Amino acid sequence: MQSKLLTVLQRREVTRIGSNKAQAIDIRLICATNMPVHDMVMDNGFRQDLLYRINTVEIFLPPLRQRHEDIPVLAKHFLGIYAKKYRKEFAGFTPEALQLLGNYPWPGNIRELQHAIERAIIMAEKDHLDSRDFFFLSTKVSPDKQPGSTAATSYNLDEVEKNVIQRAIEKHGGNISKAAKELGLTRASLYRRLEKYGL
């Protein structure tokens, strides 16, 4: 596949499936990766000539854990998007919430932050997001976890799921149908989880 892509870029033409006539193309190519491409070239996992062809201008974007100043800006951006999507009014974040978001290492980068904001908005009961709305993040980070640390992150998925279910049920006053709908589960699936966690 790398060889075929290199040929296309060198000749600036493609041949459609089922045709034997080449067609000229005029494109601007933008590539992105989270893989160590230069190391892959050394290990023969990526063609050096293809890398030279696509790597005219290189921009290195550090992971979110190294860009703490971007977290509040991105968080507010996603807050606006999902508040509108779920028709909720939010005044913003409490200082404690922003501190929690700033201290979290974000192994999943911006996509994880986006998902965390959406999840918090769905479950929030007040007109602002505080640290309790991000409880599922605090369960993943040990007390001595520092921003940028390479220490392993501790995940307890069962505990996270249990807490989310508890909050959904409390939010809907014990109404299983409404809680299941908000969680994206069937009533039967939710009952199985209630039995599993002894709720």
The Cα–Cα gap between 3 and 23 comes to 18
CATH number at residue 129: 1.10.8.60
What angle is formed at CA 70 by the lines to CA 64 and CA 74, rounded to 5 degrees? 95
The structure tokens 């999943």 sit at 108
Is 45 part of any domain?
yes
Q: Choose one of 54, 72, 98: the last residue of a domain.
A: 54
Are 167 and 178 in contact by the 8 Å Cβ rule? The answer is: no
**Closest alpha carbon to 164 in 127, 120, 117, 112:** 120
Q: Which mean pLDDT values do the consecutive 10-residue runs of the chain (199 residues) have? A: 92 90 92 88 93 89 90 95 90 92 91 93 88 77 43 55 82 86 82 83
Q: Report the length, in residues, of the chain.
A: 199
Q: Quote the number of domains for the chain.
A: 2
Write down the pLDDT at residue 14.
92
On whether both 162 and 86 belong to a single domain, the answer is yes
Task: For residue 190, tell me if it sits in a domain.
Answer: yes
Domain boundary among 54, 74, 94: 54
* One domain, residues 98 and 21: no
Are 80 and 158 members of one domain? Answer: yes
Q: Are residues 178 and 129 in the same domain?
A: yes
Same domain, 18 and 48: yes
Q: Residue for token digits 């493609």?
A: 14
Instruction: For 56, list phi and psi in degrees, rounded to 5.
Output: -70, -50
Domain co-membership, 35 together with 98? no
State whether 130 and 154 are in the same domain: yes
CA separation for the pair 143, 152 (Å, rounded) = 13
For residue 93, being part of any structural domain is answered with: yes
What pLDDT score does 140 carry? 54
- Return the closest-CA partner of residue 166 out of 189, 131, 198: 198
Model pLDDT, residue 150: 37
pTM above 0.75, yes or no: no
Query: Do 48 and 94 belong to one domain?
Result: no
Domain boundary among 35, 54, 73: 54
- Structural domain includes residue 59: no
Q: Which domain holds residue 76?
A: 64-197
Give how far the C-alpha of residue 103 lies from the chain's centroid of Cα atoms, to the nearest Å: 16
Q: Are 94 and 120 in contact (CB under 8 A)?
A: no
